[in-house]
Structures are given as C-alpha cells and as structure tokens.
Amino acid sequence: MRKRPFKQIDVFTNTPFCGNPVAVVLDAQDLRTDQMQAIARWTNLSETTFVLPATHAQADYRLRIFTPVRELPFAGHPTLGSAYAVLESGMVNAGQATLIQQCEAGLISLTRDKPADRLWLRAPALSTTPLSEAQQASLNKALGVSCIRPALRIDVGPVWITAQVAHGEHLLSACPDQLAIQRISEELNATGITVFGANDDRAGFEVRSFAPLHGIAEDPVCGSGNVCVAAFLAAHGSRTPYEARQGRAIGRDGLIAVRYLNNDIEIGGQCVTCVDGFLYG
C-alpha cells in the first residue's frame, strides 16, 4: 500500500471545526481518475483535492478537485485550502508571496496577506445569463423565500444560480426544497443555487449554497458561490469590498473577504489544519 501525505484544512476560519473542510492528498502522481473519485466519495466532504506536479511552466503545482460524485474545473475553498496545505508542507517555498495553481479552469493566482493571515485567490473569468420568468418563479418556490432581484446563472467553472433575498435572517430561517433545487440545477445545467441577503453585523451579507445534484445538500462555506455573489453585486453596480458569513445555518460559521481589482474578483480567507497525517492506498 502507498503512503501519501494527507491534510484536512478548514477554510474561511482560523478556528478548528468551523468554516469549510477540504481534504488534500499531497502526492497524487500515480492515482487514476477513478481512484481519486473513490477517495472523494470516501472522505464525503464537499471537495477533496489532489496535488500533482505542474505541467505549465508558470505554475507551482497542479490541482484536481472532486466532489463526492464528480470532478470540478475550479472551486474556491479547495483552492485556498490546498494552497495553505502545500505551503505548510513545504512543497512550495513558505516565503513565496504569490502562488500559481494550475487546474482545469486554467491558472489561478493566489497571494498571501501575512498581516491579515489570509490567502486570496483571483477568480477565473465568468459569464452571466438571466433566468426566464418561469425559472425565477420555480426558484422562489424552491427556496421558500422570494428574491428581491432577478436571479442570474453565473458560470465561474462551477455554475451557480445566484439570487438575493431581502435579509440574511430570512435566509437563515429558510428551509429550501432540495428536490426542487436539484430539478432546477438539472434544467439549467448548474452546480447548484447560492443565495445571499444583507446582514446587520460585521459581515455585510449572509450566504447559503445548495448543491444536491453534486451530493451536497448544503455547502458549509462556498468559495465559488461567493465569487458569484460578488459578480451578482457587480452586475448591479456595486464594487465595494465587503465580508460575508456562511455556514451558520449548519453550524460551520465562516468568514469570506471579497475585493475587486479592475475587472477581477478576489476572495480571501484564513485557514487552519485539523488533520495532518497519511492516507494509505
């Protein structure tokens, strides 16, 4: 049996057992795709990642990202957590201020903000498409709470139907219909639905993400979903930096920082290691 370095990192928090966990297999060179998928199914986390040598001259490493049921071209919290893992393990020089991750979505730039103890990623290019009136009506019914603006289908690698409700408290008390969300996701070829509403506390917004089509009833703290929230706000004329909270509805409170750089969106967060050891297989 092969002994592989393995870490589990909580992302968007510096408190163990909060935020969103990602499993990181740090030596995946000889694993087949079906073996990676089997490991991701076994960890049963929203994402499991596999670190490989880069094949692009500019990249520090290559990353493959899996949900329990399929591979993703890009995801936010796995990108930040995996970067934290390769830095902590010494696979990449811990003194580097900038990292380049190679993934199916292309090259992802990451920066370290040591004073704030945060890692930041620059999101890949995205595209937005409006929903039809019938699709919007189905979405409102599935969420159990009405949107205050028309929702958008936003493709950032993962595809999130992104919607805004009046207030974060409405969102925290909502009980969405998972089967209806799955049907909408299938119809629109989407990863799932990300919903947000304004908060009254330090974080400007409350966020929830639902992806039953990927075997994830609710993602604790979703990086790509928060990229889509930022894109939604930018589409409505707001490009002010802010922080968002996600995960409180399921006991996994996380804090996501968002900023805009020219036409790019960057999201940042803290990370903490909860498991450090080996995977055998």
d(CA 46, CA 60): 24
Token output for 183? 């049907």
243 tagged catalytic: no
What does each of the 281 residues of the chain score in pLDDT, given as a tens digit? 789 999 999 999 999 999 999 999 999 999 999 999 999 999 999 999 999 999 999 999 999 999 999 999 999 999 999 999 999 999 998 888 899 999 999 999 999 988 778 999 999 999 999 999 999 999 999 999 999 999 999 999 999 999 999 998 889 999 999 999 999 999 999 999 999 999 887 789 999 999 999 889 999 999 999 999 999 999 999 999 999 999 999 999 999 999 999 889 999 999 999 999 999 97
Q: Tell me, what's the pLDDT at 281?
A: 78
Q: Tell me, what's the pLDDT at 109?
A: 96
d(CA 131, CA 164): 13
Q: Residue ranges of the alpha helices (H) in the chain?
A: 33-43, 76-89, 133-143, 168-172, 178-187, 223-235
Q: Tell me, what's the pLDDT at 86?
A: 96
d(CA 273, CA 178): 31
CATH number of 3-122+269-280: 3.10.310.10
State the span(s) of the chain assigned CATH 3.10.310.10. 3-122+269-280, 127-267
pTM over 0.85: yes
Of 276, 255, 229, give the one whose Cα is nearest residue 7. Answer: 276
CATH 3.10.310.10 for domain 127-267: yes
139-to-151, 188, 196 alpha-carbon distances in Å: 9, 11, 14
Beta bridge pairs of residue 159: 155
41 three-class SS: helix
Q: Tell me, what's the pLDDT at 98?
A: 93
Q: Which of 47, 206, 218, 266 is catalytic?
A: 47
